[in-house]
């Protein structure tokens, strides 16, 4: 297994194969389970969504969530949007607002239970790998997660520790545990990436704007707004982001147009942050597994992905 950004993308692709398999199983059921509340489908796929914020509430429960602690991980979202989504969940009586804090209600916990039960319902009985192989893969990944939880700061494991708060219990099937480990890796990647970029640019949406310009996915304020408006920011916010990045010397205007491009300085900063992100993220793998085990783990993950895809 090569430790680079492609490896993380592969892990997320395995997670995607889980969801595809669950969808395929659901479509074949003679009796469809109750549909989730419509609100959970709003802004589906975005971090700034009712469903994702309910997951965050589960990760903090019994402690409350609020705009401040939500934005530790969802650092890219505007305060206004985070507050609006919390109020929306409170209006459904899933959260109970007390001052600036929001506590899960019993009704909210029922919603969470339904969300957590779906993988158990759809994945029960699936055998994308033999019992021996799935058990061995679960053991490898558990060791990596345990190693990640005890890593030094930076990067720390704030996001990962909260993700583990909603992990399936020990009696759950290995296939279910592995699905959550993949979600844990997503959380720890956030820990690693934020630890790498915050020292050079602590404002999430400015860093994200820089990333889009550096990658060539946006080259103007209009492009940034078109791509990132879902984060809850206005055009004037992206204009300030561009000005900030120009002042840092990370981007420059392509005269006489209104477009921007990354500078050599900006490219160097971006490369350093991505390299540090990978170093933070993959170090626990090297500590937890031997070289041969890493290769075996990758092979089992690949076969798991293929097995899940065959179900669809």
Same domain, 109 and 144: no
Question: What would the two tokens of residue 178 be?
Answer: 């592995």
Question: Residue 61's domain spans which residues?
Answer: 33-124
- Give the side-chain half-sphere CA count within 13 A for 112: 24
Distance from C-alpha of 209 to C-alpha of 310, rounded to nearest angstrom: 38
Residue of 301, 280, 298, 273 lying closest to 2 (CA atoms): 298
Distance from C-alpha of 286 to C-alpha of 284, rounded to nearest angstrom: 5
Which pLDDT does position 35 carry in this prediction? 85
Q: Domain for residue 6, yes or no? A: no
Dump pLDDT digits (tens) for 209-261. Answer: 999 999 999 999 999 999 999 999 999 999 999 999 999 999 999 888 889 99
Q: Domain for residue 283, yes or no? A: yes
Domain termination site, one of 67, 101, 124: 124
Beta carbons of 252 and 260 less than 8 angstroms apart: yes
Same domain, 174 and 258: yes
Same domain, 268 and 136: yes
The number of domains in the chain is 2
**pLDDT grade for 31, boundaries at 50, 70 and 90:** confident
The residues pairing with 98 across neighbouring beta strands, listed in sequence order, are 101
Dump pLDDT digits (tens) for 117-170. Answer: 999 999 988 999 999 999 999 999 999 999 999 999 999 999 999 999 999 999
Q: Please give the average per-residue pLDDT across 54-62, as a whole number.
A: 97
CATH code where residue 201 lies: 1.10.10.10
Residue 262, phi then psi, degrees to nearest 5: -75, 145
* Sign of the CA dihedral with 283 first, then 284, 285, and 289 last: positive
Distance from C-alpha of 276 to C-alpha of 299, rounded to nearest angstrom: 26
**pLDDT grade for 193, boundaries at 50, 70 and 90:** very high
pTM of whole model > 0.75? yes
Domain termination site, one of 124, 153, 173: 124
Judge whether residue 312 has pLDDT over 90: no
Residue of 186, 184, 187, 198 lying closest to 154 (CA atoms): 198
Which pLDDT does position 122 carry in this prediction? 92
Cα–Cα separations (whole angstroms), residue 142 to 69, 138, 178, 186, 216: 27, 6, 8, 14, 37
Same domain, 257 and 297: yes
Q: Domain for residue 3, yes or no? A: no
For 241, other C-beta atoms within 10 Å of its C-beta total 24
Domain termination site, one of 124, 152, 179: 124
Same domain, 184 and 82: no
Same domain, 76 and 174: no
Same domain, 69 and 135: no
Q: Domain for residue 7, yes or no? A: no
Same domain, 112 and 167: no
Same domain, 111 and 155: no
**Residue 11 host element (H or E):** helix 5-28
The pLDDT mean for the chain works out to: 96
């Amino acid at each position: 297994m090569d430790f680079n950004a492609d490896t993380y993308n592969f892990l997320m692709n395995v997670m995607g194969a889980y969801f595809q398999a669950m969808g395929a199983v659901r479509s074949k059921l003679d009796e469809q389970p109750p549909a989730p509340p419509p609100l959970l489908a709003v802004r589906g796929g975005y971090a700034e969504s009712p469903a994702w914020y309910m997951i965050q509430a589960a990760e903090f429960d019994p402690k409350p969530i609020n705009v401040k602690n939500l934005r530790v991980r969802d650092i890219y979202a505007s305060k206004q949007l985070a507050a609006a989504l919390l109020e929306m969940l409170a209006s459904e009586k899933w959260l109970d607002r007390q001052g600036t804090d929001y506590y899960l209600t019993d009704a909210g916990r029922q919603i969470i239970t339904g969300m957590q039960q779906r993988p158990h319902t759809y994945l029960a009985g699936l055998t994308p790998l033999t019992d021996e192989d799935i058990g061995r893969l679960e053991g490898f990944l558990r060791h990596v997660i345990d190693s990640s939880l005890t890593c030094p700061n930076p990067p720390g494991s704030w996001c990962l520790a909260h993700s583990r708060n909603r992990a399936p219990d020990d009696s759950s099937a290995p296939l279910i545990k592995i699905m959550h480990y993949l979600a844990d890796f997503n959380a720890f990647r956030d820990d690693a990436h934020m630890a790498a970029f915050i020292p050079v640019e602590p404002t999430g949406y400015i860093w994200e704007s820089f990333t889009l310009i550096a990658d060539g996915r946006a080259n103007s304020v209009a492009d940034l707004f078109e791509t990132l408006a879902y984060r809850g920011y206005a055009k004037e916010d992206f204009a300030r982001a561009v000005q900030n990045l120009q002042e840092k010397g990370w981007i420059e205007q392509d005269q006489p147009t209104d477009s921007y491009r990354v500078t050599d300085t900006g490219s160097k900063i971006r490369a350093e942050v991505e390299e540090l992100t990978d170093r933070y993220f993959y170090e626990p793998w090297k500590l937890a597994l031997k070289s041969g085990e890493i290769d075996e783990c990758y092979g089992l993950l690949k076969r798991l992905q293929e097995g899940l895809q065959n179900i669809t």
